[in-house]
Structure 1
């Protein structure tokens, strides 16, 4: 009969100290970050750990370092949007992947219906986690003001008031401009746009870029409707736009998910894509490739943004960097068949 050897005991901190020829306190400091430990002692402790197969006690380490060994990914969105939005799901996969191979655990915080404003911020300030990555911030969610100046918080997406806040984002203004210019270059002259909710900087900035492109071309930018970053919202917004502006021949849609709904609205009205109405989306996270014809879209560099946010946060937790750092990545067009 094969059983488990319960007589074998895991190596202790005292054994590591004896093996390394240092005091117990020196061994503890070496394991928990190397504070006030000479390079020679640090190397000896690391060699002892490898030889003995020592695994630090996470609870003891948390007490010694005032760290929990976990970071939070905060998604201030309702449950139903979280499970259906490819951008949010991509962020979760990306952050989880960035932590693979580390001993840091990921805590996922999602905004539930009826959750009081400020509840998430209070949780983060209370020290339940060592740091946080916050994505999809909204005006009025209480996060940016409550966490301003924190070294251990990084936003994916520009906050409304970014002073003292570190964030990573794509240049959404340029992305909106690029989408509109693509339609203009194709000869379209009566453009509309389906935006995201105006309590998000991504939606406002993409609309800003759209408006700038039309102003430069001497064209009106009056055909605007909010699709809420959902397929159903995009479909409803497209119907409202076409009711008000039946002469539209091009649409900039601020997310590919909404573009799926816009496509359905055009089909319902017997309008052909791109012959009657051309479409440019935004994100390039899967929905564009699945659409028939393939959606022309603006690439949102999600993988690079998530990697950068995780790198900044991990660097902060190791003592580097200062609040207020930001990184804005360029978008680019991914050609399809809808223009």
Structure 2
């Protein structure tokens, strides 16, 4: 593999046809994409090409055995029109960790960073200024070898596509605590951003939607007694003035926003506990008034406050706090991401 990326520019741009004031998340894509194939035991020539459909054989293994992993990350534009990434090396490390679990070859870090920066530079006009505006970036890998034998593929395609985004969620969400369904199990692929993890959530989430809840707080598969994740996000609980979240494990995704919030909380003098959290503890805290907040964290939403949860048919409303931890963390994260404050952690990477 050569680190020199071949770039073929789009002849015309689609950007003038896009209404940036009314974007649906993940439905509009920029003019270019990054593509690199794995064949003959190694990654081939990386390219940036015009965004276009790809052709796959009907027997491509991804369709039959689900070898597919992905990442989610963002680029931000500051008031001086400079573009920034947020902790991109962590995304590369995590997609390779996910790939390893699904027997997919790792992608080289130097080529990833060079290709990512070149792609965002090429489509820089799609990164709009303003708080809440960003460029959502989706690296992913799929098994492309045409064969339906039940074994790992020997051919793969690594791509990066980009989609302009506004705020992902608006307002607080109501959640249902899982009593029957599970997101992941011990020894499984819960810690990986494997495509199948998300497909398995859709049915129980649809059931929750019919009951008036936007998301599910997942519980452990063995006993359904311990709280783990909220929808597609990590979840935090504020009991009195202590911030609590479940530890990462083979079932729980090591969220980059999660790690960032934990660091900011510690440096802000907030008491932090990373430990298992029982459903019964949450209900007790809600009843005695010590439960102040629940919120999810993730790349797309950053921070998503939760206003109520339901368990065994009983709904527990969470009183609105004048000073929310979630609001503090979101503001501090956004200030770093949009270059409005100092970045003492070195998380911000210039394009």
Larger proportion of strand: 2
Q: TM-score normalized by structure 1?
A: 0.30
Larger proportion of helix: 1
Greater Rg by CA:
1
Q: With a CA cutoff of 8 Å and minimum separation of 6, indicate the structure with the bigger relative contact order.
A: 2
